[in-house]
Amino acid sequence: MKKTSINEVVVYCESCKKFTRQIVDKVNHFLHLILTMITFGIWSFIWIYIAIWTFRYSECLKCGIRAKYISVK
């Protein structure tokens, strides 16, 4: 069964010295939306923090090193 909680991207790995497939942690926005409603908006600060943090790092599938993820938008 394929995991839907992870995002796969192809980015340059400093350790492998080439472009590799890497996993970027995906934020469960639906869960955070519920938590934001429960906490009357307080959770949105944590939500933003998590969203920024998780999309800054990716894990290389070849060497397993967790490195900075440079997003190509």
Stretch that binds Zn ion, among 3-11, 37-45, 48-56, 61-69 (CB under 5 A): 61-69
Is 24 near Zn ion (CB under 5 A)? no
Question: Residue 63, interface with Zn ion (CB under 5 A)?
Answer: yes
| DSSP per-residue letters across 8-67 | EEEEEETTTTEEEEEEEEPP-HHHHHHHHHHTTTTHHHHHHHHHHHHTTEEEETTT--EE
Nearest distance, CB of residue 67 and Zn ion, angstroms: 8
Please report, as ranges, the residues that interact with Zn ion according to CB under 5 A.
13, 15-16, 20, 60, 62-63
